[in-house]
Structure 1
Amino acid sequence: MKNAIGIILNVDGEDTTLKDFLLHRSLSTLPFGGRYRLIDFTLSNMVNSGLSHIGVIGSHKYSSLVDHLGTGKEWSLSRKTQDLSILAGSGNNRIGNLIKINLRNLQNNRAFLKSDSSEHVIIATPNLITSYNFNGAYNIHMNNNSDITLIFKKDNSHYHLLEDDIYLDLNNDRVSGIHYKKSKTTSHFFADMLIIKKSVLLTLLDLGERTGAWDLMDMIQANVDSLRIYGAQHRGFIKRVNSLESYMKASMDLLEYKVMQELFLGKASIHTKIKDNHPSRFCDSAQVSNSIVGSGCMIDGIVSHSILFRDTTMHGTSYIRNSIIMQKCEIGKNVSLNYVIMDKDTKIRDNTSLTGKPHAPIVFKKGSVV
């Protein structure tokens, strides 16, 4: 896909249920799945689709993003040759407001858009858990001489879409209408990924400057009759992390074999920052079932249907189930955890019992001692 560049938009929406995890990091670098960050999925999907020039629009919480992406070598990119560019965002916008794709973010980075001769731009958010190859959508885009191709998913009640999510009217694969959920729903919703001609994007940016518009999707909606807009269906697994409940659900989905197989055992790998570490140690009394355990852990207890990140220490006679334990946490003796999420460097003292709920797990922010 040599005639396209990629942009990963910052979604720094500090949903109140995620605030404890976003004090020192942006949503894009929220740890996920025992070793990954959310942005790894979108960035890997773009690289696996053949994009070699990708811009990542960051937020005011730059340090975690810069530290994680580093030189870009884990994704076969290089910041030195500008294969990977970390770009400045325009401000902090909450998830759930009416701005889907912030025109100011794109306007402030026109230099990146014009930095090579590519004629098309692939835009996606960093909080999508999916393994997706953009080439199918790109072929639809090219074959129809489309100005814009919106990637969509068939709706299902388990997606729990928000009032500012977008639904599409389709007529023989052409998009004939765009609606926010609060006004109208259809059987197809926009999956926060699109392909757009660069010339069309620049024209819409100019129009937005003149009219004071903030949202690219509003601009597309207002010009749906004059633009050639097509849809490309996403047929695989996809989950969007935009709340504590969706983070918990997407994490637990990884423990289903079909989901694990699609995301991690296919031809396309999800890349992440590599950390050399020693193997995990499982004591004789340890029992681990249907769980993900990162490297460098010491497990002496029972772990069931849970995700443990690197360097977690779990002492004897403790029981962890339905929980997410992030990096370098320590679980004392005779501890029982059920539906608990612990950010990194959290310590749970001996003889502690904590039980949350599937839709409302107990949360501990970084460095907590309980």
Structure 2
Amino acid sequence: MKITSANLYMINLPLQSAFKTSFGQMRTKDFILVALHDEDGRTGYGECSAFSVPFYTEEFRNSAYLLLKDILIPLLLRQEITTPAQLTNLFCAIKRNNMAKAAIDTAMWDLYAQKSHRSLAEAIGGNKKEVLAGISIGIQPSPTVLVQKVQQAVKAGYQRVKVKIKPGADYQYLKAVRNVFPQLMLMADANSAYQLKDADHLKQFDKLGLLMIEQPLESGDLLNHAQLQQQLATPICLDESINSLKDAQAMYQLGSGQIINIKVSKVGGLSIAKEIQAFAQRHHIDCWCGGMLGSGVARAVDIAAATLPGYTLPNDISASQRYFAHDIIKPEINLSNGKVKVPTIPGLGFKLDWDTISRYTIKENKL
């Protein structure tokens, strides 16, 4: 494969409602759509999920846009690429910036799948025809409102519910949900809102039979996560802490957690996500695919990733209408009996909705 040109689209896609976490709230999903055009006239698409400010990782959208435009895509143009895995070496001199790299990696996998006349899931080695869907619910104003949101999610068919928490909006909120839904696969996501000194408070969560507590401590703090896991019966899942295969290996060796949330965008794309999944599977570590409030392009990639055999738990792959009045793909992603069907069309499996893309694009570059 040889990339001859590319387009970048900076997009602000409105959310149905504000999404609140421990570090703030969002009313739009701000992202970059990358389109790579090859010498045979095909186009592959990828999404850079970097937020507008660098509160989640060191990346933010404006910096990622410049990196893509001025460095990464110029490095890629006219290169002969046999497999997307080659991009790891091509970009090795550029430190981190995984979300910008992931946009190119996933677009190349889309092209690779199209060229081989396979679905993206088939091209990466997936073996599922449908994937289990979970839902993420932001921090709510009260336990009562949270229970109402969970009731709506369960009625919609979601098999696992993730609740965002922070100090002051955690145990009592989760307890209220558990009282109404004693059998629900329920988990909490702290987004690094706690410290090791909060261990006694977090021990209360063991009473609730949670599937996991996700990323309770700082992202780089594998040692304290290991100490915390020793004190908790509830499995710790690491998200922000896992940005590479080496991070997953360190987690395993230190005992920092029992579950990994593999976010394709955050680890640098499908090529690295496959490596982490394979390592986790060899060491009997449960995995699931997390999202970044991504548009349909990112969710199409997540669906493919979740078909890999090492993904053992329900994924953060919700229906398009859960977050967006208008997604950027056709058909939009839908839920059926708590599952999402895996597309069989070559590549991503979806067409792009250019009317919606044009409406919400705030900046565009052709390279």
TM-score (ref. length: structure 2): 0.26
Which has the larger share of helix? 2
Which has the larger share of strand? 1
